[in-house]
Amino acid sequence: MTVLALEKRATRDFNSAYEHDFDDLIWGRRAGHMGHHEYVDRSMPLWTKFLEDNATKYYTPGNEIDLIKRAAQASAALLGDRPVTLVSRGCGTKFLPKEGELIQHFRNVVGVVYLDRSDAALEQSIDEGRRLLPDAWHKAIRADIFDPALRYPVDGTEVGTSFGITLLNIEGFPTAPPPKDAYVRNLSAIQAQMRTGAHFIMTADHNQDRKSIEQAYAGQGDFAKDMLRRTGCMNPNDVDFIVKFHGFSRTLSHGFRFHEDTLVRSRSRSGLRNFRTGDTLWFNNSVKPTLAETMEWNRSSGFTYARPDIPMDAQARLGWHHLIKN
């Protein structure tokens, strides 16, 4: 059975949701939560260009593929011959080198569910998945992967994956302590979508070296500024894109630094906010917990570990976390 329908779960279109969240950022009601808006259809070419231009510095994709090759066989062995439905959670066009590598080690994949915010990413991923598994059924759902009410079909044992994304874009500030509560809230939302006994395989970046982290993300300026063009409330030429890793909070922050005093107008609410020269608007705060913190937070989110070991990539930056929902 092949299912190709792209379901629209959002109650409002992307632009209105984006404008609402951007206003919350501007007026300080929430902070650093805009990362999930970066991966949308019109931005995918810019993301692809960033990957091509920064293949060496942006270590995450290559290290993640290396880690999948190291760890996939042992994780797949835990499933044996059981029928498996793979549930791939965004973001972006990365199914073939990542989930595609993983499923080669599974013996009986009967279905694949694809979850993402981007139609373009979903269409590419489902095309790659159908070619890899022509006898399985395939279903793509456009959705927020952190929506606890999200539901999807499963035959046999559910095996969810989270590759290529940071599980948490924190709703907080980079100077705060490591945000365990926010992490648990977001991962618990994914846990709520899953069946009891489902497997969940995630990779996590535990690198704490400030220089290598900041170098990895410094080239995302064009990609990040494309968000500003969608509302027209801020001129991308008026700001510099900057990245900073705050070791105290384990937080990698993406920000826009203003060249001069700037008034930013709300489009969906009345009012102006004045930013001074040199002010930084941190629009995306993603967390890179240590290995020990990640294990503790995963358990607090309603999971146990299926494997006692935590495989690492060749550079010992990324960890492989194979979990089971309690």
For residue 282, what pLDDT is reported? 85
Is residue 253 within 8 Å of residue 32, measured between CB atoms?
A: yes
Is residue 122 within 8 Å of residue 77, measured between CB atoms?
A: no
Distance of CA 13 to the CA centre of its chain: 20
Is residue 2 within 8 Å of residue 137, measured between CB atoms?
A: yes
Q: Which residues contact 94 (CB under 8 A, 6 or more apart)?
A: 61, 125, 163, 164
Backbone angles phi, psi at 170, to 5 degrees: -70, 145
Tell me the C-alpha to C-alpha distance, in Å, between residue 125 and each of 83, 129, 140.
Answer: 21, 6, 9
**Burial letters for 140-153: b for 16+ Cβ neighbours within 10 Å, e otherwise?**
bbbbbbbeeebebe
Cα–Cα distance measured from residue 185 to residue 176, given in angstroms and rounded to the nearest whole number: 17
State pTM to two decimals. 0.86
- Residues 110-135: tens digit of each pLDDT: 999 999 877 888 888 999 999 999 99
DSSP secondary-structure letter at 169? B
Average of per-residue pLDDT values in the chain: 85
- pLDDT category of residue 183 using cuts at 50, 70 and 90: confident
* CATH 3.40.50.150 residue window(s) in the chain: 60-209+305-325
Q: Where do we find the tokens 């990324």?
A: 318
Cα–Cα distance measured from residue 147 to residue 10, given in angstroms and rounded to the nearest whole number: 10
- Residues 250-284: tens digit of each pLDDT: 888 888 999 999 887 766 556 677 889 999 888 88
Is residue 105 within 8 Å of residue 80, measured between CB atoms?
A: no
Residue 65, token pair as written in the block: 């593929």
Q: Where do we find the tokens 């299926």?
A: 306
Cβ atoms within 10 Å, residue 240: 13
- Residues 28-59: tens digit of each pLDDT: 666 666 666 665 656 677 778 888 888 888 99
DSSP bridge partners of 109 = 84
DSSP secondary-structure letter at 42? G
**CATH number of this structure's domain 60-209+305-325, picked from the four choices 3.20.20.150, 3.40.50.150, 3.30.1490.20, 3.20.20.100:** 3.40.50.150
Tell me the C-alpha to C-alpha distance, in Å, between residue 212 and each of 115, 126, 133, 207.
Answer: 30, 33, 37, 9
Q: Which residues contact 309 (CB under 8 A, 6 or more apart)?
A: none
- pLDDT category of residue 227 using cuts at 50, 70 and 90: confident
Please spell the DSSP secondary structure of 120-146, one letter per residue. HHHHHHHHHHHHH-TTSEEEEEE--TT
Question: Does residue 293 carry a pLDDT above 80?
Answer: yes
- Residues 58-91: tens digit of each pLDDT: 998 899 999 999 999 999 999 999 999 999 997 6
Q: Using a CB cutoff of 8 Å and minimum separation of 24, what contacts does 126-133 make?
A: 126/4, 128/95, 128/96, 128/100, 129/88, 129/95, 129/99, 129/100, 130/2, 132/96, 132/100, 132/103, 133/103, 133/109
Is residue 204 within 8 Å of residue 289, measured between CB atoms?
A: yes
For residue 188, what pLDDT is reported? 95
